[in-house]
Structure 1
Amino acid sequence: MPKISDEHRAEKRQQIIAAMLRCVERDGFHKTTMAAVVEESGLSAGSVYTYFRGKNDIIRAIAESGLTGISAAIQRLIPEKGSDQTAPPPEQAIEAATQHLLDLAEHLGVDLPRIAMQTWAEAARDPEIHAVMAPEARRIRASWRTYAESAIDSGLVRSDADPERIAMVLTGLLPGFILQRIMLGDVTPKVYAAGLADLLSGPGVVR
Structure 2
Amino acid sequence: MRKDEYVGSLFSLQGKVAVINGGAGVLGLAIAKGLGKAGAKIAIGDIAPTSEAVEYLQKEKVEAKGYFMNALDKDTLKKAREKIIKDFQRVDILLNAAGGNMKGATTSPELSFFDLPLDSLEKVVSLNLFGGAVLPSQVFGEVMVRNEEGGSIINISSMNAFRPLTRIPGYSAAKAAVSNFTQWLASDASRFVTGTVIPIDGGFNAYSGYR
- Structure with higher Rg: it is 1
Q: Which has the higher helix share?
A: 1
Q: Which has the higher contact order (CA 8 A, sep 6+)?
A: 1
Q: TM-score, normalised by structure 2?
A: 0.30
Q: TM-score, normalised by structure 1?
A: 0.31
